[in-house]
Amino acid sequence: MTKKEIKALISLLEDEDREVASHIEQKIVSLGEGIIPFLEEEWEETLDSDLQKKIEDLIHNLQFEGLMSRLVAWKENGAENLLEGMWLVNSYLYPDVEFSTITKEIDQLYFEAWRHMKTEMHPYDQVKSLNNVLFREKRFSANTKNFHSPANSMLHLVLESKRGNPLTLCVIYLILAQRLEMPVYGVNLPNLFILTYKLDGLQFYINVYNKGLILSKADIDNYILQLNLNPIDIFYEPCSNLDIIKRALRNLAFSFEKMDDMEKSTEVIKLLTAISDDDIPLTR
């Protein structure tokens, strides 16, 4: 369609006949995200608040459907890039934040961590070195005051504010550690996402939410015991990138639920369902 034809189509959104207007909305949605710039242009030009609201809803629906398609494609392509997955979660609230913006922030953190990492370091010393950069020099920390805020699941905001929830802080730590060739992976503990360092018979755990505190298997045993749960492998062994992104979406849905924003919570659950074959309770 030409620009003139698209603008003419958008103008029909004002039709008083609801059936006609509904048909036009469906036609616009079928054109995909490429029509968004034209919708934004029309929004700026009109003074009709009702039409502006219709356009805003259409833009959101187009962005949401596009995000769902990209999430499914990310999963079907192997869910290999964890940073990309977190950026997609970020895109739900901030569709204009580019992947390159987040990548640059991570690159800078990696460079700082790499400068402090020495060859032949003991695993514990590697962890302590990374802890020093993130928690002492860069001052990343737990967002305990606003624990349930959706901002804690938005990676670009966590990189900016240096405050986040257990999972988002772990993702930053995990990505840096793996780029530094450390065998560090995510662990799906109930109510608390942590990391594990696992290589050649050596395994210990890292509580990033508590400034990278090193934990033993006995510590995990005690934690599971306090929750009155049976110790199963998922509480001790590495999880996949897909598991991490599903947990990030559960966290985000739960945040909106705590804010009584059920519309957004329901939408995030739809994103989660699109990449899930199970029904796991919400966890942090």
Q: Is the dihedral of CA 157, 163, 166, 172 positive or negative?
A: positive
pLDDT given at position 163 = 96
CA 146 to chain centre: 17
In tens, the pLDDT along 16-37 reads: 777 877 888 888 888 888 888 8
pLDDT given at position 98 = 97
pTM comes to 0.89
Domain edges within the chain: 3-76, 82-274
Q: Do 50 and 58 form a contact (C-beta atoms < 8 A)?
A: no
Residue 7's CB is within 10 A of a number of other CB atoms, namely: 14
pLDDT given at position 143 = 92
Q: Between β-strands 213-215 and 184-187, what pairing exists: parallel, antiparallel or unpaired?
A: unpaired
Q: Do 195 and 208 form a contact (C-beta atoms < 8 A)?
A: yes
User: What are the average pLDDT values for consecutive 10-residue runs of the chain, which has 284 residues?
Assistant: 77 75 82 86 83 88 94 97 98 96 97 91 96 97 90 97 96 98 97 96 96 97 96 96 98 96 97 81 50
Q: Between β-strands 184-187 and 194-199, what pairing exists: parallel, antiparallel or unpaired?
A: antiparallel
